[in-house]
Structure 1
Amino acid sequence: MDSLAAAPGTGPATSPLPVLRPARSPRKLADLPTDRTLVMGILNVTPDSFSDGGQFADTDAAIRAGLKMHYEGADIIDVGGESTRPDAVRVPPEEEQARVLPVVQALVRAGALVSVDTMNASTAQQAIDAGAAIVNDVSGTEIDSDMPALVARTGVSYVLMHSRGSVRSDDPNASYDDVVEEVVAELAKVRDRFYAAGVAPEQIIVDPGLGFSKNAEHDWQLLRGLDRLGSLGHRVLVGASRKRFLGSLLTSFGKAAPPLERDNATAAVSALAARSGAWAVRVHNVPANLDAVKVTAAWKG
């Protein structure tokens, strides 16, 4: 990977990133800061992401983008090879693996702490073999039946996100009497399947699944109720970056703000999530959100 020196969007190596010569030992979770909320950078290696429009679908471009986030200070880089935008078409695990594994390997070699964003246990296994330390699974109540045993066997951290099946534009599952209490209860029920497989409580990270089987008001209620989510006893990950509920909030002249115009609002959510004790925020724009969580940590003292 020594030739991958250009920063994303700069063309041939006109603005080089540091060259990967000897491999660096990858960071471990124990190496991460404990005095502030962590920043997980989003790296979509897909042609149909809702936010970046497939900008990093090419392997070399994805590696350059991941290295850029790493050098910008991302604590974790979350690599995904399957879009979860509304009505996205599922891809075969083999195709997903072809997209993400070279990227995971290169970033681990550069010393990054890598998470793999996948719903497939087979992809998770190969990514772990390539050095990934976290599995970020958005499948919610429809988890791969092999996933709990894999997490137990490998000892990796596992992000258990709330969802009620596949994401759809008009989601019939987005109906709640009390969204916070129901999300907490449904997360606990799925979590118990991991406990039954031998997964330790400290391996679990919970994510309220903003935008997954939820409308904008549900998302806001869940953000207001992060302390209740934390009562499950696990680290909490908040993934609000550029999501629809922020676009709706920023509507102007009857038109929702497009994804790339939601970064300021995302940073505000990150600061407030950090104030509420979130373990990490999952974001597209690393520098702005790293600033936000650092300011919050200083404010809290």
Structure 2
Amino acid sequence: MFYYRPLVQSGPKPADALPLTGGPLWFNQVERLSRTEAPQILPASELPEDWQRRLCRPRPALAGLSMDRPRIMGILNVTPDSFSDGGSFNAPESALAHAKTMAEAGAEMIDVGGESTRPGAAEVPIAQEIERTAPVIRAIAPLGLPISIDTRKSAVGRAAAEAGAGLINDVSGFAYDPALADVASTFALPVCVMHMRKAPEDMHLDPHYDNALLDVYDELEERVAAAEAAGIPRARILADPGIGFAKTAQHNLEILNRLSLFHGMGCPLLLGVSRKRFIGSIGQAPEARDRAPGSIAVALAGIAQGVQMVRVHDVAETAQALRLWLAVRDGREA
């Protein structure tokens, strides 16, 4: 079996180039990958028709946001124990204030989470997770930004949708509680399907892959297909390779290095690397609050490979960096 990774470029487009997901980035070469042969660079004209279709077709808008330019999802953890900002925004009042700050700084979606998914985190009871998230969603809904609920549980997803959430973000890829996909289908909500093995409690214990890039691609594609089979059209699915979830730093780097492969799923891509442990270890920043520069560097590297959305803690800093990156890419101010 062969996989085809577009070698993404920007700037003036040659006559033989193909558009990446219908946007301003393009490619005229691909890297052919397999589990049994060495990688090979080929002209894009040699792409199989199904791969060309998935790589090139424009991505529809999600939750009211067009996917023709990079978008910023701001993280709003309403938990006492999240690895980076646990306990800071538990009350609806402080959560609303932080959501306003993120919106003013450039966030275009707010991701509300009531259960920490850091390595080793314990599961939160359903009633407690609803109590943490639903009031916050109701409080910030008048801001007018799309709101994502970060949950693995159908009851939490339903309460969030009733409170005003417009997207369901499931780190388990809808494997933990398959009924969550039914909630998304019932409310006609878009979803984010992420790759993760095991659960937060034990995902960090000796993760092993035969080929991190291709194993994650295949397993994530299986979860996307399962969501589609449950009634969620692929046009309403974001795909997230799950950087830092059941992956070592080396696994993360192998996936990030060839991230553009994941456009082959035919979905827009979300990248969540903000303040994660490998950012701290490689960037020599032991404290999570000091990892904004490294987080932004990796986010921009993903955007250069065509990622449509980045999930971040440091919204103002990321938005500034993104504006400058786009200005340099395009040779003009927006």
The bucket for the TM-score relative to the shorter chain is 0.7 to 0.9
Q: Secondary structure at the match of 2:88?
A: coil
* Aligned amino acid, residue 310 of structure 2: V
Deviations along 1:17-68, one digit per CA (max 9) or x if unpaired, are: xxxxxxxxxxx94653555310000000000010013211223212211121
Corresponding residue of 1:288:
317
Output the CA distance in 1 between the equivalents of 2:174 and 2:206: 12
Over 3 Å counting, the alpha-carbon distance change for 1:216 and 1:266 in structure 2 is: same
Corresponding residue of 2:329:
300
Deviations along 1:191-246, one digit per CA (max 9) or x if unpaired, are: 22212222101111111111111000111111112111111110100000000011
Q: Does 1:97 align with 2:130?
A: yes
Corresponding residue of 1:5:
none
2:78–2:86: 8 Å Cα contact kept in structure 1?
A: no
Corresponding residue of 2:159:
126
Output the CA distance in 1 between the equivalents of 2:232 and 2:64: 22
Q: Does 1:263 align with 2:296?
A: no
Match of 1:276 among 296, 299, 305: 305
Output the CA distance in 1 between the equivalents of 2:90 and 2:267: 33
Corresponding residue of 1:216:
249
* Matched ranges for 1:138-157 at <5 A: 138-140=171-173, 142-157=175-190
* Aligned amino acid, residue 315 of structure 2: V
Output the CA distance in 1 between the equivalents of 2:203 and 2:135: 35
Q: Does 1:38 align with 2:71?
A: yes
Output the CA distance in 1 between the equivalents of 2:233 and 2:266: 12
Corresponding residue of 1:189:
222
Unpaired stretches in structure 1, ≥5 consecutive residues: 1-27
- TM-score, normalised to structure 1, is 0.85
Output the CA distance in 2 between the equivalents of 1:31 and 1:165: 32
Corresponding residue of 2:28:
none
Output the CA distance in 1 between the equivalents of 2:156 and 2:229: 22
- The higher radius of gyration belongs to 2
2:77–2:86: 8 Å Cα contact kept in structure 1?
A: no
Percent identity, please: 37
* Matched ranges for 1:58-97 at <5 A: 58-97=91-130
Corresponding residue of 2:276:
243
Output the CA distance in 2 between the equivalents of 1:291 and 1:263: 12
Over 3 Å counting, the alpha-carbon distance change for 1:83 and 1:199 in structure 2 is: same
Corresponding residue of 2:44:
none
* Aligned amino acid, residue 201 of structure 1: R
- TM-score, normalised to structure 2, is 0.77
2:112–2:133: 8 Å Cα contact kept in structure 1?
A: yes
Over 3 Å counting, the alpha-carbon distance change for 1:141 and 1:103 in structure 2 is: closer
Q: Secondary structure at the match of 1:142?
A: coil
Instruction: Identify the range of structure 1 (93-102 vs 166-175) with the bigger mean alpha-carbon deviation.
Output: 166-175
Over 3 Å counting, the alpha-carbon distance change for 1:281 and 1:47 in structure 2 is: same
* Aligned amino acid, residue 123 of structure 2: R
Output the CA distance in 1 between the equivalents of 2:99 and 2:203: 33
Output the CA distance in 1 between the equivalents of 2:85 and 2:72: 19
Output the CA distance in 2 between the equivalents of 1:85 and 1:69: 22
Over 3 Å counting, the alpha-carbon distance change for 1:123 and 1:243 in structure 2 is: same
Match of 1:158 among 153, 178, 191: 191
Unpaired stretches in structure 2, ≥5 consecutive residues: 1-60
* Aligned amino acid, residue 276 of structure 1: Q
Q: Secondary structure at the match of 2:265?
A: coil
Output the CA distance in 2 between the equivalents of 1:104 and 1:132: 7
2:224–2:239: 8 Å Cα contact kept in structure 1?
A: no
Over 3 Å counting, the alpha-carbon distance change for 1:148 and 1:30 in structure 2 is: closer
Deviations along 1:125-156, one digit per CA (max 9) or x if unpaired, are: 11111111111101247331202222222221
Q: Does 1:107 align with 2:136?
A: no
Deviations along 1:96-120, one digit per CA (max 9) or x if unpaired, are: 1111111111211121211110111
Over 3 Å counting, the alpha-carbon distance change for 1:35 and 1:186 in structure 2 is: closer
Output the CA distance in 2 between the equivalents of 1:143 and 1:151: 15
Output the CA distance in 2 between the equivalents of 1:81 and 1:30: 21
